[in-house]
Amino acid sequence: MKHYSNNYFKNARTSLVLLFSGSLLAACAAGPNYLRPEMDLPEHWPTNPSATSPATAKPANAAGERWWGLYADPVLDKIEDEALAHNVDAQVTTARILEARAQLGITESDQYPKLNANGNQSRTKRSINPGLFIPPVRIIEFSHITLDASYELDLWGKFRRASEASRADLFATQLNRDAVRLSLTAQVAQQYFSLLSSDAQESAIRRVLTGRQERFELDKKRHEVGVISEYELHQSEADTDTAQSQLISITKARDQQEASLALLLGRSPSIVMHGKLERGNPTLANVWVPDGLPAELLLRRPDIQEAEQKLMAMNARIGVARAQFFPSISLTSYLGSESISLSNLFTGPAGIFQFAAGIGQPIFNAGRIKFGVKAAESRRDQALAQYKQAVGSAFADVRNALFAQESARQTLTAESSRSRALSKAHKQSELRYQVGISSRLEFLDVERNYLQAELNRIDAERAQRSAVADLFKALAGGWQQPPVKPTQRPVPS
C-alpha cells in the first residue's frame, strides 16, 4: 500500500510539472505583439504647377507648433496662450489625462503583492446552563489580529498585457489633448481673422455711408430749391438706408464673433456678456505653406497617433482575454495572534501563521473565455479600421487644405485687383457726376460695385488666412522638429 501511494504521488508530481511546462510554453504566445499596419503612403504632397509662393510671404517652416507667431501679431499670440490655458475643452482633456494616469496606476498595482492588516475582538455571552460536560462560562472574549498577504503569479502575462493596454490608453488620452489643442489654436486664429475682417468691412461701409449721408443732406437742399426731383431725393435716401442696413448687419456679425471668440478663450460669463476683445495689427503678414513637403510629416498628427495608441491598447487586451485560458496561481499567507485574553494576545503561545498556494484552471464555462477573446479581437479589428480611416482622412485633409490655400490665394489676387480698379472708377465717376458729365444712377451703380468689391476683397483675405490656418492644423503645426513615433512617446511626470 505504501509503494502504491509513493507511485501515485510521483505520477501526480510528474503530471503537474508537464502541466506547468506546457502552460509556460503557451504563455509565450498569450496575446499578439503589436506590429504597425502596412499602408501605401505617398512620399510627398502633390505639387501644384500653377501654385507660386507670393513674393511677400513668410516661410511657413519658420515656426514650430506656435505657427501663429508667423503673423507677428502680439494680440493673436496673447489670445492663443489664453485659450490654451483657460479653454474648457482643453481643461477637460487635461483632467482626462490625470484620470488615465490614475487608471494606469490601478492596473499596474495588480502586478504586486497585496498586504492588509486585519483585527477583530469579540465578547460573547453564553448560557450559564450549557450542558452536563460544558463548564458554565457565561462571557467569552476573543481577540484576533493578523497581517495578510496575497499575490497572484503573472505567469501568462495577463497583468503585463493589461498594463500595456492602460499605458496605451494614457498615451491616447495625451494625444487627444494635443489634437484638441491643435484644433483650438486653429479655431482661435480663424475667429480672430473673422473679427479683423468684420472690422475692416465695417470701416468700408462706414466710409460709403458717410458719403451718402453727406450727399443726402445736400440733396435735400437741392430739392428745396428745385434742382433735383422728388424721385432723385427718395433714391438718395434709399441708398443711405441701404448702407445703414449693411452696417447694422456687419455689426451684429462682429458682436457674435466676439462672443464666440470669448467662449473659446474660456472667459467668464460676465466678460462674454459685456467684455470687448482687443484688436491687433489689421494688416497681418502674408503666410504661405509650400508644396512638395515630405508626407511622413503627417504621421506626427496627434489624431493619427491617438488612433494608433488605441489600436495598441485593443491589441494588448487580446492577451488579457487569452490569459484566462491558463491556470491562475495565487499565494496567500497571514501572520498574527489570537487569544481569548487580550493581555495574552502578543505572547508567544498566541502566535499564528499560515501559508497557502492555490491553483485554479477553467474547465467549463460555456465558451465564455473563447467569446471574450473573439470580442477582444473584434475590438482590435475595429481599432485597426479606425486607424486606417484616420490616416486616410489626414491625407485628404492636407490635400484639400493645400488646394484651398491656392484657391484662396488666387481669389484674393483677383478680388484685390478688382477692388483697386473699381476704387479708381469710383473716384473718376464721382468727379464726372460732380461736373455733370455722368448721371446720378451711373455714379451710384459704380459706388455699389466698388463697395461690394471691397467687401469681397476683405472676405477673400479672411478666407486666405483661414485656409492657411486649416493647412497648419492638417499638418499639426510647423515642422522644425523631426516627427516623433507614437511608440516612443514618453509618459509626462
Q: What is the CATH number of the domain that holds 101?
A: 1.20.1600.10
> Which residues pair with residue 119 across a beta bridge?
145
pLDDT over 90 (residue 152): no
Residue 253 lies in a domain: no
What is the C-alpha to C-alpha distance for residues 73 and 413, in angstroms, rounded to an integer? 23
State whether 149 and 162 are in the same domain: no
Domain final residue pick, 311, 342, 360:
360
What is the C-alpha to C-alpha distance for residues 259 and 242, in angstroms, rounded to an integer? 26
Q: At what angle do helices 158-224 and 88-109 cross, to 10 degrees?
A: 180
Contact 170, 97 (CB under 8 A): yes
> How many domains in the chain?
3
State whether 43 and 134 are in the same domain: no
Residue 242 lies in a domain: no
State whether 1 and 141 are in the same domain: no
What is the C-alpha to C-alpha distance for residues 445 and 448, in angstroms, rounded to an integer? 5
What is the C-alpha to C-alpha distance for residues 183 and 475, in angstroms, rounded to an integer? 11
- The half-sphere exposure of 70 on its side-chain side, counting CA atoms within 13 A, is 24
Closest listed residue to residue 111, CA positions, set 70, 172, 167? 167
State whether 313 and 459 are in the same domain: yes
State whether 187 and 295 are in the same domain: yes
CA 129 to chain CA mean position, Å: 75
**DSSP category for residue 285:** P
Across the range 255-262, mean pLDDT stands at 90
pLDDT over 70 (residue 480): no
- Count Cβ atoms below 10 Å from residue 88 Cβ, excluding itself: 10
pTM here is: 0.78
Residue 44 lies in a domain: yes
Residue 453 lies in a domain: yes
Instruction: Please return the burial class of 11, using the count of CB atoms within 10 Å of its CB with bins 0-12, 13-18 and 19+.
Output: exposed
Residue 204 lies in a domain: no
CATH label of the domain that carries residue 128: 2.20.200.10
Domain final residue pick, 304, 338, 360:
360
State whether 58 and 72 are in the same domain: yes
Residue 25 lies in a domain: yes
419-463: pLDDT as tens digits: 999 989 988 988 887 787 877 788 888 888 999 999 999 999 999
206-239: pLDDT as tens digits: 999 998 898 889 888 888 888 888 888 888 889 8
Residue 383 — very low, low, confident or very high, per pLDDT cuts 50/70/90? very high
State whether 418 and 479 are in the same domain: yes
> What is the end-to-end Cα distance of the chain in Å, rounded?
65
**pLDDT at position 27, please?**
45
Q: 344 vs 124, 144, 340, 429, CA distance in Å?
A: 18, 11, 8, 114
Look over the chain and give the mean of its residue pLDDT values, rounded to a whole number.
80
| Residue-range definition of the domain harbouring residue 25 | 1-30
pLDDT over 70 (residue 300): yes
pLDDT over 60 (residue 6): no
**DSSP category for residue 225:** T
Domain final residue pick, 360, 385, 409:
360
**pLDDT at position 45, please?**
63
**Interior angle at CA 413, CA 184 and CA 252, nearest 5:** 50
What is the C-alpha to C-alpha distance for residues 427 and 425, in angstroms, rounded to an integer? 6
Residue 144 lies in a domain: yes
**pLDDT at position 478, please?**
66
Q: Which residue has the cell 482633456?
A: 93
Residue 229 lies in a domain: no
State whether 93 and 7 are in the same domain: no
State whether 335 and 417 are in the same domain: no
What is the C-alpha to C-alpha distance for residues 419 and 440, in angstroms, rounded to an integer? 21
State whether 122 and 188 are in the same domain: no
State whether 296 and 315 are in the same domain: yes
302-358: pLDDT as tens digits: 999 999 999 999 999 999 898 888 888 888 887 777 766 665 666 666 667 788 888
State whether 461 and 403 are in the same domain: yes
